[in-house]
Amino acid sequence: MVALMLLTLEQTSAGDMRSWSLEDLVQSLRRVHVEEMLLPVLVQLIVIILVARFFATLARRIYQPGVVGEIIAGLVLGPSVFGALFPQIFHALFHPGLPHVPHALADHLLTSIFSTLSQLGLIFLLFLVGLEFDFGHLRWHGKAAFFTSVAGIALPFVLGLGLAEWMYPYVPGLPKVGFALFLATALSITALPILGRIMMELNITRTRLGTITISAAAVDDAGGWILLAAVAGITRAEFELWRIVLMVVETVGFALGLLVLGRPIVRWFASRLAERPDGDITINELAVLLAVVLLCATATNLIGIFAIFGAFLFGAICSREVVIRDALRRRMLDFLTAFFLPIFFTYTGLRTNVGTLDSWTLWGFCGLVCLAAIAGKLGGCTLAARLGGFHWREAFCIGTMMNTRALMALVVINVGRDLGVISDSVFCMLVLMAVLTTLMTTPLLLLVMRSTELEPYIRASGFLAPLGKNRPH
């Protein structure tokens, strides 16, 4: 614990530490009782979990996915709203300090605890995302899926690169190449897990439009992961070619090792589960699986492309085994949804300070970021689907669904923030973009579904009914 605290010393303001020697700091940290450190963590967790669930429920009442409510909960709890309206309560709650420790150091320590919790939640979430990844959707459904998937990555990426060139003089101190690549990648992402959840709630997963959209989104998602891994590797390697090549070789080797060695073991384990009447996983088996998830996360962390990639790859290796997927969903999904995910989404909101957009120029760039994201993804995919043979209304439905970002964009944004290639103001712009593009999806789809094949399926789903009256939760 002392080592972790000392690591945060480098980030602590010099003014706050001027009168403290290193020995004094070590002694003060040792005097902090674990209960004194636990108390503010517990209080913050209580507030975050309850407020996140409240906003998630509220979001569902206005026909939005719960994740949108959780992100908005973080924005409301953060410095932009709660901190601005009630600064003393906000600081007492989220920046409480610790006895015997300089306030800046205590603040960094508590922030590191929540950052670690959110990253742990993200590791397990990405494992489940990989587990739910249906490789059957990667098959082509005609030229419409091909054009849509290519346009869905290429156009927003190019727009992002162009916008980054324009924005860069206004965000000094950032590595230019890393900034441009991360901004372009954030605009290119489609949030396949959130899109899949929305489509399931609307009962359109097996429609022709739904199948083509989820196929194109799956390819975009896979492309987005490749882009993110490459960009993170390039940035962490500080643009040294030999280090980038080494990361690529190690990553490919790790993925092939998982495929060659892991797949037979996974198939064997799935056959054992299938022999059981309930198909359930024992506590010991669950412990081993969680340890393997963390081991894979450790491997990619050591490679240098972030721990979440290892968890996702292992989930993808297990994805073909339905019995494992169902058993792990029963064991993990509810707790992950109720505990870890609110921490990640709300923590992202807490890191977002609208006050960093302190000029009309930055607000103008925020609008351009949102415009480039929507024009690139929604506009590009709509045109591609139209070229693929769909009527304009059907093509717009596909473009609307492809415009969903939410989770995956937030992953990219947080990775960029942690790598130091996007500033606080750009982080805020991208979070607002992710929220806006996700908020747009369901209302736009309900608006344009008329006279398409989606309309009878959506009406039959019960989604349009009042909450509690045959409406899915």
Residue 61 lies in a domain: yes
Picking from 399, 412, 416, 434, the residue whose alpha carbon sits closest to that of residue 225 is 412
Domain containing 99 equals 2-115
393/397 Cα distance (integer angstroms) = 6
Q: 451 and 346 in one domain?
A: yes
349, 75 Cβ separation under 8 angstroms? yes
Alpha-carbon separation of residue 190 from 18, 198, 394, 438, 457 (angstroms): 47, 13, 19, 10, 23
Q: 191 and 53 in one domain?
A: no
178, 249 Cβ separation under 8 angstroms? no
Q: 80 and 175 in one domain?
A: no
- Give the total residue count for the chain: 473
Cβ contacts of 107 within 8 Å, gap of 6 or more: 95, 97
* Number of helices and strands in the chain (H, E): 24, 0
Residue 449 lies in a domain: yes
Question: Position 253: which residue type?
Answer: G
Region 164-177: mean pLDDT is 85
Could you say which of 80, 115, 150 is where a domain stops?
115
33, 166 Cβ separation under 8 angstroms? no
pLDDT digits (tens, 9 = 90+) for 38-66: 888 899 899 988 998 898 888 878 877 67
Could you say which of 58, 87, 115 is where a domain stops?
115
Q: What is the pTM of this model?
A: 0.71
Structurally, how many domains does the chain consist of?
Answer: 2
What is the predicted pLDDT for the residue at 19?
55
Q: 192-202 and 208-236 are packed helices; what angle lies between their axes, rounded to 10 degrees?
A: 160
What's the CATH code of the domain at 186? Answer: 1.20.1530.20
Q: 366 and 272 in one domain?
A: yes
Residue 15 binned pLDDT confidence (cut-offs 50, 70, 90): very low
Picking from 113, 115, 89, 117, the residue whose alpha carbon sits closest to that of residue 32 is 113
356, 425 Cβ separation under 8 angstroms? yes
Q: 385 and 423 in one domain?
A: yes
Picking from 153, 134, 148, 233, the residue whose alpha carbon sits closest to that of residue 193 is 134
* Residue-averaged pLDDT of the chain: 79
How deeply is 204 buried, as exposed, middle or buried, from its count of CB atoms within 10 A (0-12, 13-18, 19+)? Answer: buried
Q: 411 and 269 in one domain?
A: yes
What is the predicted pLDDT for the residue at 230?
74
Question: Position 386: which residue type?
Answer: R
Region 179-188: mean pLDDT is 88
Task: State residue 117 phi and psi, 5-degree precision.
Answer: -60, -45
SS3 222: helix
Q: 303 and 197 in one domain?
A: yes
Q: Which residue has the higher pLDDT, 90 or 199?
A: 90
Percent of the chain with pLDDT over 70: 83
What is the predicted pLDDT for the residue at 240?
64
pLDDT digits (tens, 9 = 90+) for 307-316: 877 888 888 8
Task: State residue 113 phi and psi, 5-degree precision.
Answer: -65, -45
Q: 22 and 156 in one domain?
A: no
Q: 362 and 338 in one domain?
A: yes
Residue 468 lies in a domain: no
Residue 148 lies in a domain: yes
